[in-house]
Structure 1
Amino acid sequence: MRPNCNQRMRPSMRSLAVSLLALLMLTAATVVVNGQVLYGSIVGNVKDNTGAVVSGATVKVTNKVTNQTREVTTNAEGAFNIPTVQTGRWEVSVTKSGFKTYTRSNVEVVLNTITRTDISLEIGEVSETVSVVADAALLQTDRAEVRAELTSQKLLNLPIPPGRNYQQLFRTLPGISPPTNAHSVPTNPSRALEYNVNGTNSSSNNVRIDGASQYNLFLPHVTAYVPSLEAIETVNVVTNNFDAEQGLAGGAAVNVQIKSGTNQLHGSAFEYHDNHHTKARPWQLAPINGVPQDKPKRVYNQFGGTIGGPIVKDKLFYFASFEGTNDRQLGARFLTLPTAEMRAGDLSGGGGNIYDPETGTPLGLNRVAFTGAQIPANRIDPIAARILQSVPLPNRDGFANNYYATAPYSYDKKTIDAKVNYNITDKLTTYGRFSFLTYKQLNPGALGDADGVGTAPQGGNTGTADGETYGLTVAGVYTLTSNFVIDANVGYTKQGTSSRQGFLDERIGLDVLGIPGTNGARDFENGWPRFRIGGFANIGVQDSFMPYTRNDPQWVYVTNFNWTRGNHNIRFGFDFARQTLDHLQAEWNGGGNAEPGSGGFIHNGGPTQLCRTANAAGTACSSFEPGNNWNSFATFLLGYHTGAGRTLLVEPPIIFKARAYSFYIRDGWQVKPNLTLTFGTRYERYPMPKRVGRGIERYDFTNNTMQVCGVGGIPEDCGVKLSNKLFAPRFGIAWRVNDSFVVRTGYGLTYDPISLARTFRTNYPMLLAFNIVPDNSALPAGRLADGIPPSPAPDVSSGVVPVPNNVNVLTLGDSFRRPYIQSWNLVLERNLGWGFTGSAGYIATRTIGQSGLTNLNAGTVGGGTASQPYNQLFGHRASIFLQNGLFNSHYDSMQANLKKRFSNGVQMDVAYTWAKAIGMANLGFNNDGSLAINDPAFIYLNRGLLSIDRRHNFQFNGAWELPFGKGQRWGSDNRVVSALTGGWQLSWLFGAFSGTPFTVSASGTSLNAPGNSQRADLVKSEVEKLGGFGRGTPFYDPTAFMPVEFGPGNDARFGTSAFNFLATPGTVNLDLGIFREFRITEGVRLQFRAEAFNATNTPHLNAPGGNASAPSRDAAGNILLDANGLPRLNGFMEITSTRQYGREGIDERLFRFGLRLSF
């Protein structure tokens, strides 16, 4: 007899799986760690038809597609609780002697959600059966968190814009800002989106895929991996009052579940296409010198498929997904470049004076202006002239956005998601997931031989890039007894990426331009230096952090225990996260100015402006004659710079290791059948991150040295105290007033998971970010011909290293207080009938100890470098940044939601948020942003509306199966009509939301306060909104603001306009989809899809230009007019670009066509 292969296979597979699960649980249990919900729960109360409780009843649940079963018994109060249930649709049956058997099918279990199934038994024989089909649960009855689900049905039915990223639908959820594109493709290969939740930092969100953390240690505001839309079963998003089980998040805790196989074979194949013929002309694409321009070429294809089914029926299942993306475009970008007249020395177009820096006093007094703002040919610097020879001339009229650059762009990405589920026994189940991403990109520079910014529509790193990302999960659930369940998982994610700009095989700065001190012996130090001329496009390498290679692996180990005792469901567990940064990159990311490894120069207008008066001490200029961008270009053309530097990586590569530990315990207590109380606490610990073989670095304020922690006699933690008492209490109340009305309220405290590894990964003496700065803003810092002086690598063997006076440093104080977020809510939810539910509530957060960087070596107003405190003590002029948590922010909102579950062919969802967010207006997205004003006397000026404040956000989405054709209301009796009109579906995503705040800035020359930014003067009582966009048509009245040089009194002061004083334009957007489904056979269907994104072709306008020093002005400050009578704003209050709401640079209307086969 032939042996049964399945029988032979099962024991060995079972033994292997048991061994793996035991090892997994043992590994996780031996470290202190945070749990993450990967499953759901089924709870309920069993009564008879008189309302009396039924104890001792047997409750059995069965998954009808895998035949997995679980069984419990009701307690003395008639309650039952089945935790850690795999998601999907289950059948619930209840048996008890003396009662008819009750069966409820189609009970849906959702990720990280409690499904309530209350049951009433009828007196009779057990052999008799009462069967019902459950409707989808409408109310959230047993937990007080604020949450939402994005199902696979919703992900596939709604018109999701280019990229087809599940995070696009976060905009449909109350309290979440519309997600935006973030960073270049190489920095963010998965094309994850950035979003803020309830006024919190975008870095405090935590995403896990089947338990594996996607926390990006380097850029925590974007996730490491985004799976294919077709591979996702459901996305669970919790935005407020997390259960104690969820941590390492302050904004949103997001759980993504990859699909699993079942006993039936299912799959899909798809292709989506769009091109330049299917999109509208960009509104910025005006004729060039009267000649209409063709739309830039674009050919975009996204294709792939899925398949899933049984390997061994009822036991072993598989699922696999593949998706490919090919993007070919003629990349295009508008830039501002100097005209031919300007390059020849004619700077009269600026309308102001150009002063000779070689005249007058060292403070800039008594300077002599060049006649007619014309620089003589013999004064044009030869190095500046050589640089300009590589820079193309403008190809459009005017002085702003006068160059339209194009170059071929390509991007290819492939993703794979696979999953295997194994039901070993009724008590033991396991699964494993594998994900993979690979990409390649070509993004040529907009300036050709002079490189410059990339031409990709979404921006990003110039040059070539490639990389691979891996993801892995191994998880299991073991039912020890009917009331004690253990689940555990191990997750691994590794993001690898590399980006290189052009000309790295040449030393452009040293050998071609002849600038001493640029470039180096290593290839990542070669190519173009960077030249930043105020108001113009960068020349040379665009970004100071290029090139780079990054490999960032991370592990998470999780174990959870669930114990049901009476009316209490007690859950406790551990979580351990292990993260690594491994970078080959010469980047300073501690705030302030930094130049690339090839060197860089800044050219501002101070050296070619006139100082009108000096301060009383005669040490600095207190009043300047106004200048503009032409003064900045004059500084460059004369061969001067106002800042120079280079970033030297001493110990490549940069390797940092970080850890995070947590433990939690939570009790879900059903106080009464209609009242549930959840309370618990978490404990978290974040040890100091370490380099290989030693700790980080700390500045000694008493002697201008850096302590290298763990070297010489320096302790590994440098004596910095970290809190070991990070307890985070959580509680919530859910009161079911009746079957149609629920009241929920809760409070929770969470700690910001910020890792110091990102902030301190590049610090002196491992990296030298040195800068040359002038004595005051009227003087140049040097000449191009003088180059950049050498800065030798320091000796760290003693553990104490003197700090050069031109090197930026970053440090902690005696202690580091980890930021924490308090959140609370009060929500009312009601079943409105007809499949509708409505909810409204007050949602609030308070961020305490908001982390950021303070420049302790900032100068005072009008004091120049002489006022910098550590220049006075040690001659140190560069920045000294302290990482601290001294600031608070708060967010208050009203959030409302109206939902209609899918029935009668219609599903819809309406969400509205009214909110206000206030805090330190200028801190960045990574908790290591620096304040705009660091002068201690004026730090309070930083407070204002947060840049993420968005007062109103209305979202409306839905899908409607048109009521025509077979089985529908109309046309079902006529085969011809049915064939023509049947199978159509209309879907939509509509959003209308307020703009975000922005600041009106001005040149800091007159401020003369190193380490501080200037604001413009507000010279009118009201700022009129003109509503224009495009060149020459301002959005706000530009005459309402002036640089302080035109104001009364001393110029050395801050402008009178506040930070984040004005709002950017609001946004209205409509995405439409119309689909038709053809039934090929009973189980095979083909869907044709036509989608229109930004269907009304309404521009999603970006912020207006905010530099009040940009316009051409006369001596009185009036804005000059050009030959056509338009104000020469040079970008000020002009809107010349659009917002990137996750559309990869495509804002204009775009039609996409697709085919999807499912079986």
Structure 2
Amino acid sequence: MFRNGLSGLFLSLFALGFALLGTAQRADAQVLFGSVSGTVTDQSGAGVPKTHVTLINKATSIQREADTDESGHYTITDMPPGNYDLKVTASGFKPLTQTNLTVAANTVMNGDAKLQVGAVSEQVTVEAATLTLQTEKTDVHTELTEKAILDMPLNQYRNYQTLINLVPGATPGVFQNAIADTPERALSTNINGTNRNNNNTRVDGATDVFVWLPHHAVYVPPAETIQEVNISTNNFDPEQGMTGGAAITVITKSGSNQLHGVSFAYHQDQALRARQFFETAAVSPRKGKSILNDLGGTLGGPIKKDKLFFFGSYDGTFERDNRAAGGGLQTLPTAALRAGDFTGILGNYVCSDGSTSATPCASPFFVTDTNNVVQQDRVGMIFDPSTGAANGTGRKQFAGNKLPGIDSIAAKILALIPSVPAGAPETSNFFSSATQSLNRNNFDGKVDWNRTSKHAIFAKYSAMKSVFTGQPSLGKVIGDCNCDGGLGNFHSLVQLVTVGHTLTLSPTLVVDGNVGFTRMSEYGQTPDFGTNIGSSVLGIPGTNNGSDLRDSGIPYFNVSGYADLGNPEGWNPAFRNDWSFTSNHNVRWSHDKHQVSAGTDIIHHHLNHWQPELGSGPRGEFDFGGGVTALNCPAGTIGCPTTGGAPAPNQFNAWAQFLLGLADGMGRSEQFIKATAKEWQFGFFVGDRYRVSNKLTATLGLRYEYYPLMTRDGAFQFDRLDFTSLNVLLGGIGGNPSHLGVTTSKKLFAPRIGLAYQFNDKTVVRSGFGITVDPLPLARPLRGFYPLTVGSNFAGTTSFSSAGSLSTGIPSICCPNINSGTIPLPPQALERSVGPGELKRGYIESWNLVVERKLPSNFLVSLGYVGTQTVHQFGDLDLNSSLPGTGASGQPYNKPQFGNRTASTLFWQGFMSANYHALQVSVNRQFSHGLMVKGAYTYSKAIDWTDDDGWAGLTWNDPNILRRNRAQAGFNTPQIFQLAYVYELPVGEGKSWANGGGAATKILSNWQVSGIFSAIHGQPFTLLASGASLNAKFQTQTPDQVGPVRKIGGVGAGSQNQPFYDPSAFAAVTRPGTGPNPYGNVGRNTLFGPGSVNMDFSLFRTFKVTERLGLQFRADGANFFNSPHFNNPNRNFTSANFMHITTAKNDERQFRFGLRLAF
């Protein structure tokens, strides 16, 4: 799997490293467990052989023992995370006890001990170091401790994933999908330039992934239940696979010999939050309701002392939120536009050379109106599609720029649309308000059993049950969900079960393993569910299936430049039942200088869906882009402006097109067969951590992974498109083989190699290289296209022609007959398929070179170069796209033998690549002497072809310019700085100041502050323009850059506000598609949006009620300084708000108060 270009630097690096061989240290790289490894020396530094070492868990009394070898070295593996005492005894030396040695998952803790000569009765007790150098492992990882999770500010849902922002190489976590999809509100992030669905989260060993949306964890353990989180991001240990971005291991709490419990309640509401930047008093006199309560408790303790323990928790989240849809104003038509009167939007005059002027041109470009009056063309003119040619040439302007009439069905829809206030501007003129609600209940239970001194077993069960409701933003005409996603009512149940054990067969041989199961069951329906509004109320043919209630509701009317009208959620309703099974088993053997490990890692995913979301959804969709009421008069054509051509279509053309009822695109989806997918993922590994000397450790490992082809339940086992005949083949039917000639690689070997060299007790240098395999479940890209789901898409022959009207409706596609095993693909059915031969699964090469240094005051700083390269990244190529200037007639499958197919036809394969290079710095200080610090800085660049390899379409499908897609990734964030802290104020009892007793001491004692400061560079975006002159199907039009791009930095819509970038630097492309550079000269992701600065701050005090009982009062301030965090500017050149920022993130300042009672 190595590539030719990979090797020079890293082979040289490792050759240099091995030339230094002379010393190395111990090893263990478990995921659920940790290890302690060290050398016992006398005061001269010589190793002490045959020393007895005992590691005792302070909470459960579980203990492990080992003896040092001839060099004085020992290793104790497979220890559950927690605090331990390390006891060391040797003949002729004083017994030594190190207290509070913290063992963390997937880490090797330093257990070095220096003995003093003396009698056995002379006990020596020391405190273990709070932070030690990473001298044993060569991966790049970050640990989140229980204290960090509980004391640092978390987001509104108190999600531990908030702190993944503190991991070097991580882009800021975001809520990627609707609450309806992810009621746990899992965060999505890109790690080290890899795609977001390359991350792999496991909770107590169980795979924690939403099969359909694999960039999300399906279960998010509540903060109060988490003991620690380990996040490995580069050069993983051989035990860790099925991941490419981050391997995230969550260890939840267990009971102990002492009864412990917590009860808590947190509250925030609209009175405690600032206004969102665009939520001004003028447009919203009262702040919308915004209430979130989080309450619950935990209890853990012994069932039988030293043997059997329990831990349980409940966490309830209850939210009512009524804020702006999308974080800002929406655009609806003014009264004049509702009446079809476009006189008020006429703009500059168009000159014969293509320029525009505020006054009539000396050399004008003339057009004729429907009264045959010749006049100078102006920006904003509306043209009659019934005049001229079908391709938009020769059209006449509507006389007076007024429509003579409005389509009867459009009038019915118009009656459902709210009116804007009198005198409102043409854009960003309507502030909507509706409420979302979430009721979520999390239950967790865990039992730990020390069956014998050598055998420990645990079992865990977690469940989340939720109900979410999202109200529409535009009332009767529905519109966007005025919420974080999901129109209607959604019921979800998530369950996670895992059982694991550790068996010590001898001091040098340990086995461990676990099996896990996760399941998500969900069903949801929209607010228009139950009534066939499209067909029965509005009278639009082909919009609802009267025999299936799940297809009921109102269609989506997509008018370019305006708020969504109708129901825009084509993915909704949804009925899902997905689950995953995990089985991991490992053996570890310590011998001399070697720590050998081997094991298996098996995952099974199963998807079951009824969700006809492909294309336009079950109610149908009508698109109004504006070309149908625009004039096609490209530059270079006789009688047209010599440069630029006639003005490109804009939002007013789109609105006029809607009023006429003429759609340039339409479609509908219907599911005939339940979408299912079953797939296995197998991993096998062997590794050796070789202690070459006391200074040098070499890590060698090899994984082998196998990903068999997914299969389906039901009548056929697999399906794919024959791209030659356009027949869909069904595996196992009609004599077809089950796999249909599709194979997967059996050569996915993934080597891991690393070196760690400790120069002294303060400095270590680490370097490593490894390969991991993209774990993307194929259920994501291949879930349910034809014949499972029919997603139709009908479009006009050119960008200026209509595909049909509201009155004629959407043509139907009949149900498929699968009995023969070979069925023709309907010409308008959307399709994505693999081809015959090997399906190339991507893999990620990762490498690092890191210097780590221990600084005074217990700080640990690391500085490193981290790189990744993705090979065979998955993606789509639309084989039915056309070249510029050829329109629908140029589509390869638009021929009689293929039924004149014009729909998208996607070929899915691993044919792309990506790379990432970064300087990464981390600063850590474990909590000691009242202070914890955790910081990260990343300076990086990520390049790819497309950003999401689960549903990954290219910007340009033209085979002549495919490499134009290669550009900086949409998630590329060149600089990220994050700094978090927890600080006990040095005042009050036992502190430096105000410690003399009295009222001041009582008032000022036990206060702490914590915070997270972030400064983040903006992310790039791609400009869009009208594709009318391009006339190419399934391609992207960008504008031309005609001048230097000047950043103005303005915020707000309309001419009264400055744009973010100077829009005059760009011009529409109106030259013919056959002309030079027809796509525009602006590439993909060429401009950056605004960056952000943020401070989250917490203040809390613990009141000592009794010796064991403490009550904590807490105040959290998210975005404490209320810094507005703006979204990228409007990128559509045809919009009146082009380059204006009109929306901001819904993360204005929000205070939260809480009480936490703990014993």
* TM-score, normalised with respect to structure 2: 0.92
Q: How far 1:1135 sits from its partner (Å)?
A: 1.2
Asked if 2 retains the 8 angstrom alpha-carbon contact of 1:626 and 1:1046, the reply is no
- Residues 1:691 and 2:697 aligned together: no
**Within 2, Cα distance between the matches of 1:74 and 1:471?**
40
Aligned residue in 2 for 1:611: 632
Shift of 1:615: 10
| Shift in alpha-carbon separation, 1:374–1:492, aligned structure 2, 3 A | same
Which one of the candidate residues 545, 557, 578 is aligned to 1:552?
Answer: 578
Residue in 1 aligned with 2:426? 399
Q: 1:697 to 1:662 in 2, by over 3 A?
A: same
Question: Would the aligned equivalents of 1:1007 and 1:1051 in 2 still touch at CA under 8 Å?
Answer: no
1:1059 corresponds in structure 2 to: 1084
CA contact (8 A) 2:854 2:861 kept: yes
Once the two structures are TM-superposed, the CA of residue 948 in structure 1 deviates from its matched residue by 1.0
Q: Tell me, what secondary structure is at the counterpart of 2:324?
A: strand
Map of 2:1150 onto structure 1: 1150
Q: Distance in 1 between the 2:426 and 2:1074 partners?
A: 32
The residue aligned with 2:353 is none
CA distance in 1, matches of 2:1007, 2:71: 50
Amino acid of the structure 1 residue aligned with 2:478: D
Note if contact 1:1006-1:1051 (Cα within 8 Å) is conserved in structure 2. Answer: no
Alignment CA distance shift 1:1132-1:985 (3 Å): same
Given that 2:947 and 2:970 are in contact with CA atoms closer than 8 Å, whether structure 1 keeps it comes out as: no
Q: Aligned letter for 1:831?
A: K
Q: C-alpha distance in 2, partners of 1:201/1:871?
A: 34
Tell me if structure 2 keeps the 8 A contact 1:907–1:959.
Answer: yes
User: Could you say what secondary structure the match of 1:107 adopts?
Assistant: strand
Residue type of the partner of 2:651? Answer: N
| Partner deviation per Cα, 1:75-129 (whole Å, 9 max, x = no partner) | 2222111111111111112223333322222111011110111122333344443
Partner of 2:309: 317
Task: Give the C-alpha shift of residue 924 in structure 1.
Answer: 4.0
Return the letter of the residue paired with 1:633: W
Structure 1's unaligned 5+ residue stretches are 1-33, 589-593, 1112-1130, 1140-1144
- Kindly, what percent of the aligned residue pairs are identical? 39
- Residue in 2 that maps onto 1:1091: 1116
- Between the aligned partners of 1:558 and 1:940, the Cα distance in structure 2 is 41
CA contact (8 A) 1:363 1:614 kept: no
Alignment of 1:1137 with 2:1143, yes or no, is yes
Q: Kindly tell me: are residues 1047 and 799 of structure 1, through their superposed partners in 2, closer, same or farther at Cα, counting changes over 3 Å?
A: closer
For residue 539 of structure 1, the aligned residue among 535, 540, 565 is 565
Counterpart for residue 293 of structure 1: 285
CA contact (8 A) 1:219 1:926 kept: no
**In structure 2, do the counterparts of structure 1 residues 64 and 373 end up closer, same or farther at CA, with 3 Å as the change threshold?**
same
Q: CA deviation at 1:494?
A: 0.6
Residue in structure 1 matched with residue 396 of structure 2 by the alignment: 368
Q: Aligned partners of 1:308 and 1:959: how far apart in 2?
A: 26
RMSD of equivalent CA atoms:
2.0
Structure 2 matches for 1:34-183, cutoff 5 A?
37-183=31-177
Q: Is 1:433 matched with 2:427? A: no
The one-letter code sitting in structure 2 at the alignment partner of 1:675 is L
Match for 1:1075: what amino acid? F
Once the two structures are superposed, the pairs formed by residues 262-301 of structure 1 within 5 Å of their partners are: 262-288=256-282, 293-301=285-293
Give the corresponding residue for 1:228. 222
User: Counterparts of 1:508 and 1:846 in 2: how far apart (Å)?
Assistant: 50
**Displacement after TM superposition at 1:1050 (Å):** 4.5
Structure 2 equivalent of residue 1116 of structure 1? none
Are the aligned partners of 1:1038 and 1:1133 in contact in 2 as well (CA < 8 Å)?
yes
Task: Report the CA distance between 1:966 and its aligned residue.
Answer: 0.8
- CA drift of 1:483 comes to 0.8
Kept in 1, the 8 Å contact 2:616–2:668? The answer is yes
Change (3 A) 1:1051 1:349: farther
Following superposition of structure 1 onto structure 2, how do residues 490-889 of structure 1 map, counting pairs within 5 Å? Answer: 490-520=515-545, 521-588=547-614, 594-613=615-634, 625-651=647-673, 653-693=674-714, 694-814=716-836, 815-872=838-895, 874=898, 875-889=900-914
Q: Distance in 2 between matches of 1:54 and 1:837?
A: 29
Counterparts of 1:501 and 1:35 in 2: how far apart (Å)? Answer: 48
Q: Deviations over 1:285-329 (max 9, x none)?
A: 2344xx761111222211111111111011111111111111123
Q: Hey, what's the Cα distance between the residues in 2 that align with 1:64 and 1:1072?
A: 33
1:348 to 331, 343, 352: 343
Residues of 2 paired with 1:349 and 1:658: CA distance? 59
- SS in structure 1 of the partner of residue 807 of structure 2: helix
Contact 2:51 2:88 in 1 (8 A): yes
For residues 29 and 84 of structure 2, the distance between their equivalents in structure 1, rounded to whole angstroms, comes to: 25
How far residue 1048 of structure 1 moved from its aligned partner, in angstroms, is 12
Q: Aligned partners of 2:630 and 2:731: how far apart in 1? A: 46
Query: For the residues of structure 2 that align with 1:661 and 1:637, how far apart are their CA atoms?
Result: 57
Cα distance in 2 for residues equivalent to 1:518 and 1:973: 78
- Provide Cα deviations, 1:486-519, integer angstroms capped at 9, x if missing partner: 1010111111222211222111111111111110
C-alpha distance in 1 between matches for 2:57 and 2:281: 63
Q: Amino acid of the residue matched to residue 129 of structure 2?
A: D
Query: Which piece of structure 1 moves more, 622-631 or 564-573?
Result: 622-631
Following superposition, the deviation at residue 52 of structure 1 comes to 2.6
State the secondary structure of the residue aligned to 2:230.
strand
The aligned residue for residue 411 of structure 1 is 438
Q: 1:35 to 1:701 in 2, by over 3 A?
A: farther
Per-residue displacement from partner, 1:374-405 (whole Å, max 9, x unpaired)? Answer: 1013xx11011011111111248212221111
Matched residue SS, 1:42? strand
Mapped to 2, the partners of 1:760 and 1:900 lie a distance apart of 46
Pair 1:998 & 2:998 matched? no
SS in 1 for 2:1070: helix
Contact 1:38 1:112 (C-alpha < 8 Å) held by counterparts: yes
Q: CA deviation at 1:773?
A: 1.5
- The partner residue of 2:958 within 907, 919, 935 is 935
- Distance in 1, matches of 2:651 and 2:159, equals 40
Contact 1:1016 1:1042 in 2 (8 A): yes
C-alpha contact 1:115 1:137 (8 A) present in aligned 2 = no
**In structure 2, C-alpha distance between the alignment counterparts of 1:407 and 1:1087, rounded to whole Å:** 35
1:451 aligns with 2:478: yes
Aligned length: 1085
In 2, distance between residues paired with 1:1070 and 1:119? 42
How far did residue 208 of structure 1 move? 0.4
- Name the aligned partner's letter for residue 250 of structure 1: G
Report how far residue 623 of structure 1 moved: 6.0
Q: Return the letter of the residue paired with 1:672.
A: S
CA distance in 2, matches of 1:895, 1:174: 6
Tell me, in whole angstroms, the C-alpha distance in 2 between the residues paired with 1:1021 and 1:130. Answer: 72
Q: CA deviation at 1:159?
A: 1.5
Q: TM-score, normalised by structure 1?
A: 0.92
CA distance in 2, matches of 1:389, 1:604: 21
> CA offset at residue 55 of structure 1?
2.1
Q: Tell me how far 1:1024 sits from its aligned partner.
A: 3.0
- Counterpart position of 2:413: 387
The alignment partner of 2:158 has SS state of coil
Q: 1:615 to 1:781 in 2, by over 3 A?
A: farther
CA distance in 1, matches of 2:1049, 2:81: 53
CA 1:349/1:1008 → structure 2, altered by over 3 Å: closer, same or farther? farther
* Alpha-carbon distance, 1:984 to partner: 1.1
Paired position in structure 1 for 2:983: 960
C-alpha separation between the residues in 1 aligned to 2:1072 and 2:853?
58
Distance 1:545 1:264 in 2: 50
The verdict on how the C-alpha distance between 1:959 and 1:1035 changes in structure 2, with shifts beyond 3 A counting, is same
Looking at structure 2, the residues matched to 395 and 330 of structure 1 have their Cα atoms a distance apart, in angstroms, of 21
Unaligned runs of 5+ in 2: 1-27, 347-379
- Cα distance in 2, alignment partners of residues 1051 and 362 from structure 1: 24
Look up the match of 1:896. Answer: 921
Residue 933 of structure 1 and its aligned partner are, at CA, apart by: 0.7
- Point out the more displaced range, 621-630 or 850-859: 621-630
